[in-house]
């Protein structure tokens, strides 16, 4: 295969990698780890989701987060205008499209992501 073909392949959850420790092991970045936890907790139901294909924005745009219950008082005190909880930090974390996309089978497996804006094509 050519390098561009390899780079376009979806990474399958559960692939084991050599050379990271004492033997073969899984390797996750923060967003794929969180997505794997959600998947293993049953949050996605029967959907076919590959956590390794999720970037940071992909996690927070999932329509999974509770926006109907009131935030804890500490969250409101820290920033009353956010729909999510940010307790610390000198700067507000902006999360465009927060909680906006319903999960679907093979989500983000064929989507390119444009760094540094993390934009995707409208068909993704």
Looking at the whole model, is its pTM more than 0.85? no
> Computed from CA positions of residues 83, 88, 92, 95, in that sequence, does the dihedral angle turn out positive or negative?
negative
Per-residue pLDDT tens digits for 49-80: 999 888 888 999 999 999 999 999 999 999 99
User: How many beta carbons lie within 10 A of that of residue 95, not counting itself?
Assistant: 17
Residue ranges covered by each domain of the chain: 1-64+99-124
Q: What is the DSSP letter of 73?
A: H
User: Distance between alpha carbon 3 and the CA centroid of its chain, in Å?
Assistant: 25
* Distance from C-alpha of 117 to C-alpha of 9, rounded to nearest angstrom: 22
Per-residue pLDDT tens digits for 6-29: 767 777 766 666 766 676 666 677
* Distance from C-alpha of 30 to C-alpha of 33, rounded to nearest angstrom: 5
């Amino acid at each position: 295969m050519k390098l561009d073909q390899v780079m376009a392949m979806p990474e399958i959850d559960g692939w084991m990698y050599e050379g990271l420790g004492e033997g073969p092991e899984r390797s996750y970045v923060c967003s794929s780890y969180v997505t794997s936890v959600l998947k293993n907790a049953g949050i996605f139901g029967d959907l076919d989701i590959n956590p390794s294909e999720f970037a940071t924005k992909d996690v927070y745009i999932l329509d999974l987060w509770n926006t109907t219950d009131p935030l804890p008082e500490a969250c409101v005190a820290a920033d009353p205008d956010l729909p999510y909880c940010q307790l610390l930090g000198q700067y507000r974390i902006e999360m465009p499209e927060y909680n906006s996309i319903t999960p679907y089978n093979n989500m983000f497996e064929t989507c390119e992501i444009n760094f540094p804006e993390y934009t995707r094509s409208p068909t993704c």
